[in-house]
Amino acid sequence: MRSVISIFLLLFTTLLYSQTSSHSNKKLKIDSLLNESHQRGFFNGNVLVAIDGQIIYQNEIGYARADKSQPLNREHIFKIGSIAKEFDGVAIMLLNEKKKLSLDNTVSDYFPALPGWSKKVTIKDLLQYTSGLPSFNNQKIRTDEQVWNHLKNLDSLEFEPGTGYKYNNLNTFLRKRIVEKVSGQSFSEFTQENLLDAAGIKNSIIDPENSAPGMAQAFDVEFVPDNYPPYMSGWVALDIQDMSKWIESLHSGEILRQESLIKLLDSYKNNQSTLGSSDFQNGNLHYHYHHGQSGNFEASSYYNAKEKFTVIFLTNQKGNNVGGLTNAVDAILRGEKFSIPKKSIELSLRSKIHHHGYEAGMEFYNHIRKNEFDIYDFKNEEKELLETAEYLAQNEYTSEAIKLLNFISDKFPDSDKATAQLKELL
C-alpha cells in the first residue's frame, strides 16, 4: 500500500512540476514578447493571461501619464471602446430572459415618435448591426441629445433591415435607450446593479472623466494626451482584473443562460456581433474575441473555450497591435512559433504630421523606410498610408491629406482608393 501511495505521489509531483515548468517557460516568452514590443514603442499597458482560470502571467508595462511621471499599476482603469458594447447587449438579453422584451420587438414599440424606419428595425437587428442605420459623422454628432436629433431627422435606412450589415454606434445607442425604457432605470443604474455587481466587479467607472481617480491617461505615440469631448453615454471602463471577472461571469452562466449567450454571439454572415467575433466547432464555442478602442485607449479580450485560455490587453497608447499580440500569446500558450507584430506606420506618421507638419511627417516616413523597415508594417504600406490620409481628412487636415494622397498616387499608380479619396476632397 505504501508503495502504491509513493508511486502516486511521485507521479502527481512530477505532473505538477512539469505543468509549473511549462507555465514558467510560457511566462518568460510572453514577458520577452511584451517587453520587446514596449521597447519598439507599440505596447504601453496592462496584460493578463490565464489558463483554466489560473493566472500564469500578469504585468503592467509603461506609463499611466503622458509625462511619464507615473508607472501603470494593476488597479488602473482603462476605457475599453467597443468591448463596452457587451454590457448593453447582455442587458438586452437579461431583459429578454425575464420576458420584459422580445428580440422581435421594433424600435417604434418603444419610441413611436421616430420616423417610419423605426417600425421595421427590430432589437435583433440592433444586436447584429443589420438595422440598415447609416453611418454618421461622430466628430460632430456626439452627445445623446445630438444623436436623438439625428435619429428624429433620419429619412431612410441604407438597406432593408436584416438584409445587410453596417457596424455603427446608432445601434448601440438605441440598445441602451431601450434598456432604460423597459427597466425604468438609467442605463448606468441598470448596468451597475444587474451586471457589474453581479459579476463581482468593484473597480469600474461608467462614463469616466479623463481626470477621474484611478483612470489611466490616454496618449498618442508622441506622448500627447487625448482631449476628446464626451461621446454618447453608458460606456463602462474598468481595470484588467475586473475585465477578467466579466469574461469569466459571461462564459460561466453567472450572468446569462447559455442559450442567451449563444444568441448574442450569433452574427450576420460572420460579421461582428454585439460580443465581437466568435467561432463554433461542431456546435460548440471555440473562441470569443473582442477588440475596442476609444481615442488612444485600445483593448482586446480573448477567451478560448476549447483550450481554456484567457488573454486580455488594456492599453492607453494605441498601437493597432493588440490583435497581433493576442495571436502571439495564443501561439506561445500552444507551444507554437510566434512573431512580434509590426509597428503601425499610420499611427506614427499621422502623429508626426498632426504635431509637426507634413514635411516633418514625410521626413520621418523616409527615415523609417530606410532604417526601420523590419520593424514597421511595410507589407501593408499602401493601406497604412491611405488610412493616414483618411484620418487627416476626417480631422480637417485637408491640405495635408491631399498632399499625402498625391504622394500615394505617385507611389502606387494603380491605387483606385487614393484617386477616389482625392476626388472627395478636391
- Give the full edge-to-edge strand order of the sheet including 54-61: 54-61, 45-51, 309-315, 297-304, 284-294, 277-281
Cα 358–Cα 360–Cα 365 angle in degrees, nearest 5: 90
Question: Residue 399 class from Cβ within 10 Å (0-12 exposed, 13-18 middle, 19+ buried)?
Answer: exposed
Q: If you average pLDDT over residues 134-143, what whole number do you get? A: 90
Class at the top of the CATH hierarchy for domain 81-334: alpha beta
Rounded CA gap, 260 and 263, in Å? Answer: 5
pLDDT of amino acid 138: 84
Cα 75–Cα 77–Cα 81 angle in degrees, nearest 5: 150
pLDDT of amino acid 20: 54
User: Of the candidates 424, 423, 405, 425, which has an alpha carbon nearest to the alpha carbon of residue 415?
Assistant: 405
Q: Are 70 and 63 in contact (CB under 8 A)?
A: yes
Q: Give the least confident one: 6-10, 81-85, 212-216, 264-268.
A: 6-10
Rg (CA), the chain: 23
Rounded CA gap, 319 and 297, in Å? Answer: 9
Rounded CA gap, 292 and 91, in Å? Answer: 19
DSSP per-residue string spanning 271-338 = --BTTBEEEEETTEEEEEEEEEEETTEEEEEEEETTTTEEEEEEESS--S-HHHHHHHHHHHHHT---
Rounded CA gap, 146 and 162, in Å? Answer: 26
Q: Are 78 and 238 in contact (CB under 8 A)?
A: yes
pLDDT of amino acid 383: 95
Boundaries of every domain in the chain: 81-334, 345-425
Q: What is the pLDDT of residues 150-199, one digit of tens each?
A: 999 999 999 999 999 999 999 999 999 999 999 999 999 999 999 999 99
| pLDDT greater than 80 at residue 273 | yes
pLDDT of amino acid 137: 87
| pLDDT greater than 80 at residue 22 | no
| pLDDT greater than 60 at residue 16 | no
Cα 284–Cα 302–Cα 253 angle in degrees, nearest 5: 55
* Residue 285, beta-bridge partner list: 280
Q: If you average pLDDT over residues 43-53, what whole number do you get? A: 96
| pLDDT greater than 80 at residue 89 | yes
pLDDT of amino acid 8: 56
Rounded CA gap, 352 and 424, in Å? Answer: 24
Q: What is the mean pLDDT of the chain?
A: 93
Q: If you average pLDDT over residues 310-329, what whole number do you get? A: 96
Residue 327 CA to its chain's centroid (Å): 15
Q: What is the pLDDT of residues 250-267, one digit of tens each?
A: 999 999 999 999 999 999
pLDDT of amino acid 7: 60
Between 149 and 7, name the one with better pLDDT.
Answer: 149
Q: Are 352 and 361 in contact (CB under 8 A)?
A: yes
Rounded CA gap, 128 and 264, in Å? Answer: 8
Q: If you average pLDDT over residues 217-228, what whole number do you get? A: 93
pLDDT of amino acid 415: 87
**pTM for the predicted model, two decimal places:** 0.91
Q: If you average pLDDT over residues 198-209, what whole number do you get? A: 95
Rounded CA gap, 27 and 171, in Å? Answer: 40
Binned at pLDDT 50, 70 and 90, residue 18 comes out as very low
| pLDDT greater than 90 at residue 123 | yes
